[in-house]
């Protein structure tokens, strides 16, 4: 038996964990058909870990839904498969190519795969009649997220209206929706990037290997380091260099940059982040850089 703290204090990580577990259980109890949106990134893996804790020893009372961009890193897919197998979870994969075929999204040649995830995701939610979808969004990520509720109501077009948000008081979540609507649920709302890493470190959580420093061929473009691959080839006077790098986020490999790093384990990453001077999205996500309000626009349309 583990002795709890004699002074009845909980550390911030324990408080965040307790809050997230409470949210998972509340949703499982009140919603007919929840789903966990799983990207394979560290935040969605932390969600899986919290969900595992919330329902142990029962299996997760909801499936996982992944939007496959066709441009995911293989290391991310491998880690996903390992988690799904260990938890015995049900996995639904919605692909952008299928969504294009079904007419949920249109590939006009100009839209990024990331943006096409929106239609793919909404299509999958509608097809499966999911009423609640857990997402790994955190309020510290971006200014537009700072006002997001834990339960974020989406209309029957899957859209978010920042001016029509329901007040959210105490830990009393209101899960009422009408037919055709769904709720986005953000159990990690109050976690920061550093909290996530502390938790991965403490719980020794398995995450994709590309989060740790490794040698990789990269090209510097628009101030970002992009990984050499089928879609990313040197243009003009760009050169291919071999560098020790790690990824801070693991989205679509044509959009996601890496940073130079020597951090090969979680403790080293925490030390690097504690002194990092650039936000994780600003450094490595091409899709957020187009305008200051980029995230707000995508959120309104139904982005994660």
Partner 1 sequence: MASTPQTSDAHTMAQGEMDLLRFATAGSVDDGKSTLIGRLLLDSKSIFEDQLEAVESTSQSKGYDYTDLALLTDGLRSEREQGITIDVAYRYFATPARKFIIADTPGHIQYTRNMVTGASTADLGLVLVDARQGLTEQSRRHAVLLSLLRVPHLVLAINKMDLVDWSKDVYEKIHKEFTQFATKLNIPDLEVIPISALQGDNVVNRSENTPWYSGPTLMHHLEHVHVASDRDLVDTRFPVQYVIRPKSDQYHDFRGYAGQVAGGVLKKGDEVVVLPSGMTSTISRVELFDTEIAEAFPPMSVTVHLEDDVDVSRGDMIARVKNSPKPSQDIDAMVCWMTNEPLKPRQKLAIKHTTRTGRAMVKDIQYRLDVNTLHRDQEAGELGLNEIGRVQLRTTVPLLCDPYSKNRTTGSFILIDEATGVTVGAGMINSGS
- Enumerate residues 237-296 that contact partner 1 by CB under 8 A: 267, 270-271, 274-279, 282-283, 292-293, 296
- By CB under 8 A, how many residues form the interface with partner 1? 74
Shortest distance (Å) from residue 146 CB to partner 1 = 4
Contact positions with partner 1 (CB under 8 A) in 42-71: 52-59
Shortest distance (Å) from residue 28 CB to partner 1 = 6
Contact positions with partner 1 (CB under 8 A) in 196-235: 198-199, 201-202
Choosing from 70, 167, 230, 236, the residue that interacts with partner 1 (CB under 8 A) is 167
Query: Taking contact as CB under 8 A, which single stretch among the options 20-28, 99-107, 122-130, 241-249 is the one that binds partner 1?
Result: 20-28
C-alpha of 199 from chain center: 16
**What DSSP designation does 231 have?**
S
Tell me the C-alpha distance between 84 and 80, whole Å.
6
Contact positions with partner 1 (CB under 8 A) in 27-46: 28-29
Contact positions with partner 1 (CB under 8 A) in 78-117: none
Q: Say if residue 3 is exposed, middle or buried (CB neighbours under 10 Å; 0-12, 13-18, 19+).
A: exposed
Shortest distance (Å) from residue 66 CB to partner 1 = 25
Shortest distance (Å) from residue 159 CB to partner 1 = 15
Shortest distance (Å) from residue 97 CB to partner 1 = 33
Shortest distance (Å) from residue 174 CB to partner 1 = 5
Tell me the C-alpha distance between 53 and 87, whole Å.
11
The residue (of 98 and 181) whose beta carbon lies closer to partner 1 is 181
Choosing from 32, 110, 163, 236, the residue that interacts with partner 1 (CB under 8 A) is 163
Q: Say if residue 43 is exposed, middle or buried (CB neighbours under 10 Å; 0-12, 13-18, 19+).
A: buried
Contact positions with partner 1 (CB under 8 A) in 126-145: 139-140, 143-144
- Give the residue among 304, 32, 300 at the shortest CA–CA distance from 157: 300
Tell me the C-alpha distance between 213 and 234, whole Å.
22
Residue 217: both structure tokens together: 């061929």
Choosing from 13, 87, 100, 244, the residue that interacts with partner 1 (CB under 8 A) is 13
Shortest distance (Å) from residue 124 CB to partner 1 = 23
The pattern of x and - marking residues 174 through 193 that bind partner 1 according to CB under 8 A reads x-xxx----------xx-x-
- Give the residue among 33, 24, 20, 30 at the shortest CA–CA distance from 132: 33
The residue (of 88 and 103) whose beta carbon lies closer to partner 1 is 88
Residue 279, CA distances (Å) to 76, 78, 119 in order: 22, 27, 27
Q: What backbone torsions phi and psi does residue 217 show, to the nearest 5 degrees?
A: -85, 125
Residue 90, CA distances (Å) to 51, 80, 153, 179 in order: 13, 12, 25, 24
Shortest distance (Å) from residue 304 CB to partner 1 = 17
Q: What backbone torsions phi and psi does residue 226 show, to the nearest 5 degrees?
A: -105, 145
């Amino acid at each position: 038996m583990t002795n709890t703290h004699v002074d009845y204090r909980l550390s911030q990580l324990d408080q965040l964990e307790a809050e997230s577990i409470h949210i998972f259980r509340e949703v499982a109890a009140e919603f007919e058909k929840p789903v966990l949106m799983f990207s394979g990134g560290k935040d969605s893996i932390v969600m899986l870990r919290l969900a595992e804790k919330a329902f142990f020893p029962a299996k997760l009372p909801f499936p996982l839904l992944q939007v496959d961009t066709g441009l995911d890193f293989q290391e991310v897919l491998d880690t996903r498969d390992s988690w799904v197998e260990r938890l015995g979870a049900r996995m639904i994969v919605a692909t952008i190519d299928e969504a294009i075929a079904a007419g949920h999204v249109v590939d006009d040649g100009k839209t990024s795969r990331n943006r096409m995830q929106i239609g793919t995701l909404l299509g999958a939610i509608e097809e499966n009649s999911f009423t609640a979808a857990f997402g790994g969004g955190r309020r510290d990520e971006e200014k537009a997220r700072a006002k997001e509720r834990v339960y974020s109501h989406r209309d029957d077009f899957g859209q978010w209206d920042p001016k029509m948000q329901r007040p959210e008081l105490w830990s009393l979540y209101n899960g009422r929706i009408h037919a055709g609507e769904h709720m986005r649920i953000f159990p990690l709302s109050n976690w920061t990037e550093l909290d996530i890493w502390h938790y991965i470190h403490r719980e020794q959580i398995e995450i994709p290997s590309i989060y740790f420093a490794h040698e990789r061929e990269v090209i510097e473009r628009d101030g970002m380091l992009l990984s050499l691959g089928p879609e990313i080839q040197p243009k003009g006077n760009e050169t291919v260099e071999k560098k020790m790098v790690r990824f801070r986020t693991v989205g679509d490999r044509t959009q996601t940059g890496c940073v130079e790093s020597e951090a090969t384990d979680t403790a080293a990453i925490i030390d690097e982040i504690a002194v990092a001077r650039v936000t994780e999205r600003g450094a490595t996500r091409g899709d957020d850089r187009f305008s200051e309000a980029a995230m707000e626009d995508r959120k309104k349309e139904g982005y994660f």
